[in-house]
Amino acid sequence: MYRPAFTQAQHRERLSRELVRGLVSEFGDVALAHFAAELEGVDAGHRAALRRIAANEGGRAAR
């Protein structure tokens, strides 16, 4: 029987991280500028929540 190695949320998190790393690696500042431009449309509370998620993921990635 097939059992997934990761939950859907874990898979999305891992895939998102790898996609962003790949984009930044390939396109550098251009990719970062587009991410920054997209974030300008996000309200301050949501941006703060995203920073907390990124901080947690950064700690997880270092393990």
Using the structure block, give the residue that is written with the tokens 């891992």: 14
- Specify the DSSP class assigned to residue 2: -
Sorted by where each begins, the domain ranges of the chain are: 15-61
- Per-residue pLDDT reduced to its tens digit, 48-59: 999 998 898 765
43 CB-contact burial (10 Å; exposed 0-12 / middle 13-18 / buried 19+):
exposed
As a whole-number percent, the residues of the chain with pLDDT over 70 amount to 90
> Alpha-carbon distance 28 to 8, whole Å?
28
* The predicted structure's pLDDT at residue 53: 87
* The two structure tokens encoding residue 61: 């990635």
In the block, residue with structure tokens 């190695």: 5
61 versus 35: the higher-pLDDT residue is 35
